[in-house]
Amino acid sequence: MAVRIAHHQQDRPAHWRTVETPLYLAQTLHTYAHPQVCLLIDCLTLWLNNCLFDDTVSWKTQRQLFLTQLAELPGKKILVSNEVGQGIVPLSAVSRQFVDESGRLHQDLANLADQVVFMVAGLPQVLKGKL
């Protein structure tokens, strides 16, 4: 995982400001949002995982704060996530919870978004809006 993270960091343009936010995403977005700023939020499924499996936070609270904040923030926002619900239904309760929460989050985000693009093998499939 460390190698993957390092690869992603090296691919970023030097002028990008990077903020690592493992749990309190709504608070971070509020801090950095501005009408002339584009926020790239990557990766929502990793954030979901962090919130679900950290006993110091409530996923439901963090999720609601994020959705509320996202709807009110100025500027452009680009959200990146992983589709985890197209495979078989996981056997374990923990895996099912992760897949279910991810699906609910994606549905709520799609309702808020002007545009939704599903990428497969580098090819965009527009699900909502125009590319």
The DSSP letter of residue 80 is E
> Of 8, 15, 30, 106, which one is the catalytic site residue?
8
Secondary structure in 3-state letters for 96-117: HHHHHHHHHHHHHHHHHCCCEE
Q: How far apart are CA 46 and CA 62, in angstroms?
A: 14
- Topology annotation, domain 16-128: Rossmann fold (3.40.50)
- Tens digit of each residue's pLDDT (9 = 90 or more) over 69-127: 999 999 999 999 999 988 888 889 999 999 999 999 999 999 999 999 999 999 999 99
Q: Give the β-pairing of 116-120 and 38-42.
A: unpaired
Query: Rounded to two decimals, what is the model's pTM?
Result: 0.89
Could you report the per-residue pLDDT of 44-58, keeping only the tens digit for each? Answer: 999 999 999 999 999
15 as an active site residue: the answer is no
Q: Among 22-26, 29-33, 63-67, 86-90, which stretch is predicted with the lowest mean pLDDT? A: 86-90
Structural domain spans, the chain: 16-128
